[in-house]
């Protein structure tokens, strides 16, 4: 006798809980559809951070290129100096 009473209560309570849940949840507005992108005005400045990162990367690349250029010039001067020394030594021996 207790089981039919519990079953009747469950049959009435479950739909009531669903109706209350539906009433308490906020409906999705047409301008705020699920899965749409957040406008740039209301989100953090991701583009600004990306731009700053790219600027730093570009500065690092410029610095590396300058260092490589300087190192290349130094090595070329050393090779030219070595070739001149070899020529002078060879001319003195002849």
- The stretches of the chain forming alpha helices (DSSP H) are 2-24, 46-93
pLDDT, one tens digit per residue, over 35-69 is 667 666 666 666 777 888 899 999 999 999 999 99
| pLDDT: which is higher, 62 or 20 | 62
pLDDT in tens, 24-38: 776 655 555 556 676
- Mean of the per-residue pLDDT values of the chain: 76
Expressed in percent and rounded to 5, the helix, strand and coil fractions of the chain are 80, 0, 20
The pTM for the full model equals 0.40
Task: Tell me if 28 sits within 8 A of 34, measured CB to CB.
Answer: yes
Residue 51 is predicted with a pLDDT of 83
Give 87's pLDDT tier (boundaries 50, 70, 90). confident
């Amino acid at each position: 006798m207790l089981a039919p009473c519990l079953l009747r209560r469950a049959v009435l309570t479950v739909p009531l809980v669903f109706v209350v849940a539906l009433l308490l949840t906020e409906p999705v507005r047409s301008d705020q559809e699920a899965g749409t992108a957040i406008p740039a005005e209301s989100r953090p400045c991701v583009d600004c951070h990306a731009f700053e990162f790219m600027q730093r990367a570009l500065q690092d690349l410029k610095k590396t290129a300058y260092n490589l250029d300087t190192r290349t010039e130094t090595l070329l001067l050393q090779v030219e100096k070595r070739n001149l020394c070899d020529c002078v030594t060879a001319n003195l021996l002849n």
